[in-house]
Amino acid sequence: MKVIASSLRKGNVVDIDGRLYVVLTAQNIHPGKGTPVTQLDMRRISDGVKISERYRTTEQVERAFVEDRDFSYLYQDGEGFHFMNPESYEQVPVSEDIIGDQAAYLQEGMIVKLSLHNGLPIAIELPARIVLEITETEPVVKGQTASSSYKPAILSNGVRTLVPPHITAGTRVVIMTEDGSYVERAKD
């Protein structure tokens, strides 16, 4: 099915010259002069080669038919990451190159969207936000301005992020899985 390039998002799968690519980043660029373009960074599914392409925003791109299904994360071993279909209890191993740096945010029992093409997993989409605990951060410095000054912190999954000064170690916070940024204090 053909779609315009500007409608592509991260995780979409496109067919270029008979090869499947998963979109890693999609950015619409509107220069002051000239035609707007869509910059796509993609990974070829067959061998993991990364490419970067530019399309005019109105150009048509062939989107591959991909089935998106909810799967529950189970565990990781030498074969990769294992997910289970909650309806059929079928288990699917997913290789590390498909998961990429999102592996740090996987939690046991987490529901993710796996994109399947001919029954094989080709892309993963994590929930937009997850709750993690701050394990280590600097103490609050008295007199420090409250306006948008952030301090470094380490999350329970080992990822570094920046948090507001009032957040202390042991606090549960909401984090964006896309870039690891702080959203808010968890409400639980």
How far apart CA 96 and CA 185 sit, in angstroms, is 30
Average pLDDT for residues 138-153, to the nearest whole number?
73
Provide the 8-state DSSP code for 67: E
CATH 3.30.230.10 fits 2-62, yes or no: no
Three-state DSSP class for residue 80: strand
User: How do residues 11-62 score in pLDDT, each as one tens digit?
Assistant: 788 888 888 888 888 888 888 888 889 999 988 877 778 899 898 888 888 8
CATH superfamily to which 129-185 belongs: Nucleic acid-binding proteins (2.40.50.140)
Residue type, 79: E
Neighbours of 1 (CB within 10 A): 9
pTM: 0.67
User: How do residues 86-128 score in pLDDT, each as one tens digit?
Assistant: 999 889 888 887 887 888 888 888 999 988 887 788 778 888 8
Q: Where are the domains of the chain?
A: 2-62, 67-125, 129-185
